[in-house]
């Protein structure tokens, strides 16, 4: 990847007005932020700018107001949570020409704009909207890697009007991904879970030449079981996916990458009933596969023990239910243990993956965890991210 323009010396922007594009697209429940992880991750970055006497204009989107309406998608609750985390007063602003005057004349140091997507110009990558946003500041810094796969006004077009930099969180994210993709220590293991192969096929094919082990889990593994002739009962399946599975087997063989599937699973008749560990040939017609089995996680543990690098995307069971979180929890704990004891380089990414790791209380024991979803996957698929392209030197 080309080098990104970054600010190693923040004193160069001392006293400037900084448009800080953040991803504060956090869950809201009952009018309050229910998970502030994304905000907490940028606390130090924001305080570093405050130490340089910068005025900070925080810009973020929340949800999809152009599709679902604006109700419940104001950033007011996010503003309140950010104030609490930073212990700083934040001036909340509507996005209009008046905001420029308020920012210039106010003694406040931090401002938060209303939901950027309330204006259709954001998703349309409108130059007029980008120019309005740019008029609030002297410098642009992107700290929203997770939004950088979108060519939106606050990510792409705005860089035409301001001196622009990649923030340290983006630099850290790219460096972590490059450790896996470009500079990985072997053996390299990749764990891909989730529900659909169709959404991960490009990722799997693109990663295989770099991997020694490709470990498939979650509901997507059901399709492999069926392809191999096993009964999967009432488990989740994708239609017309046989050619895709055949291609994955062919690519694994061509790249000398060992394809690993669960050898046992946890089945239940209903989501709200405890499961039973079964071999693949023991699955009944009314069974639903909801987790990877004990022998399967043991096999993964052995692979992780000998690996030097691991990439993980996607849970290996219906982890939202405690009865079916054991497999994913065991994998999370194994990765954390070998990261600590064997110097394993461990990178995990995607919203569900992060939630699963957090549920297992291992979020501080990985080398790097990305909260990005689409951007994380698209980077690993080898796709160009518009938000990074415009920040290249």
State residue 1's pLDDT score.
Answer: 46
The string of pLDDT tens digits covering residues 40-54 is 999 999 999 999 999
What's the pLDDT band for 2 if we cut at 50, 70, 90? low
Beta bridge partners of 258: 213
For the purposes of burial, counting CB atoms within 10 Å of the CB of 393, is it exposed (0-12), middle (13-18) or buried (19 or more)? exposed
The string of pLDDT tens digits covering residues 244-271 is 999 999 999 999 999 999 999 999 999 9
Q: What are phi and psi of 225, to 5 degrees?
A: -60, -45
The string of pLDDT tens digits covering residues 278-310 is 999 999 999 999 999 999 999 999 999 999 999
Q: Cite the beta strand spans of the chain per DSSP E.
A: 17-21, 28-29, 32-33, 55-59, 91-93, 110-113, 139-142, 163-166, 188-192, 213-216, 258-260, 264-268, 276-279, 288-292, 309-313, 345-349, 368-370
Q: What are phi and psi of 256, to 5 degrees?
A: 55, 40
CA separation for the pair 194, 312 (Å, rounded): 11
Whole-prediction pTM:
0.84
For the chain, the average pLDDT equals 94
The Cα-based distances of 203 to 300, 379, 388 in angstroms read: 20, 9, 19
On the question of pLDDT at 350 being above 90, the answer is no
Question: CA 135 from chain center: how many Å?
Answer: 30
The string of pLDDT tens digits covering residues 149-200 is 999 999 999 999 999 999 999 999 898 888 877 778 899 999 999 888 888 8
The Cα-based distances of 51 to 16, 109, 137, 361 in angstroms read: 12, 11, 17, 32
User: Can you tell me the mean pLDDT for 77-89?
Assistant: 97
Percent of the chain with pLDDT strictly greater than 90: 84
- Give the angle 221-278-244 at the CA atoms, nearest 5°: 15
State residue 152's pLDDT score.
Answer: 98
User: Can you tell me the mean pLDDT for 105-113?
Assistant: 96
Write down all domains in the chain, each with its CATH number in brackets: 10-166 (3.40.50.1260), 174-380 (3.40.50.1260)
CA separation for the pair 389, 386 (Å, rounded): 5
State residue 77's pLDDT score.
Answer: 97
Secondary structure of 130-156 as H, E, C letters: HHHHHCCCCEEEECCHHHCCCCCCCCC
On the question of pLDDT at 338 being above 60, the answer is yes
Residue 179 in 3-state DSSP? Answer: helix
CA separation for the pair 257, 206 (Å, rounded): 12
Q: Are 208 and 200 in contact (CB under 8 A)?
A: no
What's the pLDDT band for 8 if we cut at 50, 70, 90? confident
């Amino acid at each position: 990847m080309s080098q990104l323009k970054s600010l190693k010396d923040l004193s160069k922007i001392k006293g400037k007005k900084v448009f800080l594009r953040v991803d504060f697209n956090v869950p809201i429940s009952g009018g309050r932020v229910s998970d502030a992880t994304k905000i907490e991750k940028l606390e130090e970055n924001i305080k570093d700018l405050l130490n340089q006497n910068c005025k900070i204009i925080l810009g973020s989107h929340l949800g999809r107001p152009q599709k679902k309406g604006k109700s419940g998608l104001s950033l007011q609750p996010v503003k309140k949570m950010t104030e609490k985390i930073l212990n700083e007063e934040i001036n909340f602003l509507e996005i209009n020409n008046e905001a420029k005057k308020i920012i210039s004349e106010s003694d406040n140091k931090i401002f938060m704009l209303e939901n950027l997507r309330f204006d259709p110009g954001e998703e349309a990558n409108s130059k007029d909207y980008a120019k309005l946003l740019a008029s609030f500041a002297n410098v642009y810094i992107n700290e929203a890697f997770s939004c950088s796969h979108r060519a939106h006004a606050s990510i792409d077009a705005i860089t035409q009007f301001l001196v622009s930099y990649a923030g340290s969180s983006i630099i850290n994210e790219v460096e972590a991904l490059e450790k896996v993709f470009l500079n990985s220590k072997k053996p390299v293991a990749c764990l891909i879970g989730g529900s659909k192969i169709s959404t991960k096929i490009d990722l799997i094919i693109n990663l295989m030449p770099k991997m020694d082990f490709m470990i498939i889990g979650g509901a997507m593994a059901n399709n492999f079981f069926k392809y191999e002739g096993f009964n999967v009962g009432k488990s989740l399946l994708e239609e017309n996916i046989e050619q895709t599975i055949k291609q994955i087997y062919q690519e694994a063989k061509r790249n000398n990458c060992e394809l690993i599937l669960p050898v046992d699973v946890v089945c239940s008749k209903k989501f709200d009933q405890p499961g039973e560990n079964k071999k693949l040939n023991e699955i009944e017609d009314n069974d639903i596969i909801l987790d990877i089995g004990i022998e399967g996680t043991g096999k993964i543990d052995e692979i992780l023990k000998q690996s030097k690098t691991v990439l993980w995307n996607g849970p290996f069971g219906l982890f939202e239910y405690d009865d079916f979180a054991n497999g994913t929890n065991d994998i999370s704990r194994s990765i954390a243990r070998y990261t600590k004891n064997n110097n394993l380089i461990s990178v995990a990414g995607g919203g569900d993956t992060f939630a699963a790791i957090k549920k297992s209380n291992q979020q501080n024991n990985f080398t790097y965890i990305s909260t990005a979803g689409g951007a994380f996957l698209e980077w690993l698929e080898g796709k160009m991210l518009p938000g990074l392209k415009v920040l290249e030197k």
